[in-house]
């Protein structure tokens, strides 16, 4: 279980996906869903589901949207 400074608690797929995006953001400008799936080994549906929840909870936000890859995910503004 991961406790974020904002008070949000993450576990399971959400923790795994958040950690991958956090690591990816440290190395550049965030990750696309396909990058998260590759980094975590989770299937695309699980990654997409976790990303949707994390964006809804404002843990992650999107930046640019590539026509083929979709949105790029980064940490939310409050983190």
pTM for the whole structure: 0.92
**What residues have CB less than 8 Å from 52, skipping those under 6 apart?**
none
Give the number of domains in the chain.
Answer: 1
CATH number at residue 66: 1.10.10.10
What is the predicted pLDDT for the residue at 28?
A: 73
Helix orientation angle between 44-56 and 13-26, rounded to the nearest 10 degrees: 80
What is the predicted pLDDT for the residue at 26?
A: 78
Q: How far apart are CA 16 and CA 51, in angstroms?
A: 10
What is the predicted pLDDT for the residue at 55?
A: 96
Question: Within 10 Å of residue 16's Cβ, how many Cβ atoms?
Answer: 20
What domain range is 51 assigned to? 2-75
Per-run averaged pLDDT (10 residues), the chain, 79 residues: 93 97 84 96 97 96 94 87
From the list 33, 79, 65, the residue with the least C-alpha distance to 52 is 33
């Amino acid at each position: 279980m991961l406790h974020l400074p904002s008070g949000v608690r993450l576990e399971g797929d959400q923790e795994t996906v958040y950690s991958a995006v956090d690591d990816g953001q440290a190395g550049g400008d965030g990750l696309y869903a396909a990058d998260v799936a590759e980094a975590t080994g989770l299937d695309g549906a699980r990654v997409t589901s976790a990303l949707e929840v994390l964006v809804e909870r404002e843990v992650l936000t999107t930046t640019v949207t590539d026509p083929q890859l979709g949105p790029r995910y980064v940490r939310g503004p409050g983190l």
